[in-house]
């Protein structure tokens, strides 16, 4: 792989992630983030269309199926992420498994029922280089930016638990800060060969989520 040929340089950039976490972003959008937005825009739109979370009426059954699908994905993907020590600082506080389990239980599932859900075994294909996995983090963290919009779509729905649902808005007031930290990490990791790996990882993540979640919703 291209990344393997540049592993020494890439490791050096990843080692700098922790130091850059608190550094402010420049006013200019980093080139990598602009490329990620451009190269994944079509895939992003396709996934949003498959999920249809903003298409009324948003039913309990549809939302529950989406959360179940995300749990099956995260249950495979997060252990792979945990193996990447280079990303440890960035990933602190970003696990979604406990949040998904909270939401699923709030919607009436038992712990045993959750553990029996199908797993997205294909998510193991998203492992490999830290750079590819950083692209996957970009995709999954991006869903938090629309959390407030999805929250509004849920308002007034009789099936929504009194204390709300958290998966799409896990950080609350910290959403902006968490996203800026990710942006800073992407900027630090950026280099031609690394950018290729990150973008490829993001594209593959979008494609897999579309197939996995779309398949569950079509049943």
Q: What average pLDDT does range 80-92 have in this prediction? A: 95
For all residues of the chain together, what is the average pLDDT? 88
Q: 163-171: which pairs have CB atoms within 8 A and are 24 or more residues apart?
A: 163/106, 165/63, 165/67, 165/103, 165/106, 165/107, 166/99, 166/102, 166/103, 167/67, 167/70, 167/96, 167/99, 167/100, 167/103, 168/143, 168/144, 169/144, 170/96, 170/99, 170/144, 171/144
pLDDT of residue 5: 30
Query: Given pLDDT bands bounded at 50, 70 and 90, which one contains residue 29?
Result: low
| Domain boundaries, given as residue ranges, for the chain | 2-18+33-217
Q: What is the value of pTM for the model shown?
A: 0.86
Q: What is the pLDDT of residues 123-168, one digit of tens each?
A: 999 988 999 999 999 999 999 998 889 988 888 899 999 989 999 9
- pLDDT above 90: percentage of residues in the chain: 79
Q: What average pLDDT does range 164-186 have in this prediction? A: 95
Q: Is the domain 2-18+33-217 a CATH 3.40.50.12780 member? A: no
pLDDT of residue 153: 86
């Amino acid at each position: 792989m291209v990344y393997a040929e540049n592993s020494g340089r890439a490791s050096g950039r990843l080692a700098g992630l922790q130091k850059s976490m608190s550094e402010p972003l420049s006013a200019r959008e980093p080139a990598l983030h602009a490329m990620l937005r451009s190269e994944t825009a079509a895939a992003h739109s396709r996934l949003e269309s498959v999920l249809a979370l903003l298409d009324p009426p948003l039913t309990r059954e549809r939302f529950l199926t989406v959360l179940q699908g995300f749990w099956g994905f995260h249950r495979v993907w997060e252990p792979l992420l945990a193996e990447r020590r280079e990303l440890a600082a960035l990933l602190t506080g970003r696990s979604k498994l406990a949040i998904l389990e909270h939401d699923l239980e709030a919607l009436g599932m038992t712990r045993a029922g959750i553990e029996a859900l199908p797993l997205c075994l294909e998510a193991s294909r998203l492992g490999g280089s830290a750079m590819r996995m950083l692209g996957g983090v970009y995709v999954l963290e991006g869903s938090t930016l629309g959390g407030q919009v999805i929250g509004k779509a849920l308002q007034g729905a009789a099936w929504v638990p009194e204390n709300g649902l958290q998966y799409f808005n896990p950080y609350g007031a910290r959403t902006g800060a968490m996203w800026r930290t990710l942006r800073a990490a992407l900027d630090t990791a950026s280099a031609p060969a690394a950018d290729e790996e990150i973008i490829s990882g993001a594209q593959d993540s979008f494609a897999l989520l579309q197939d996995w979640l779309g398949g569950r919703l079509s049943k």
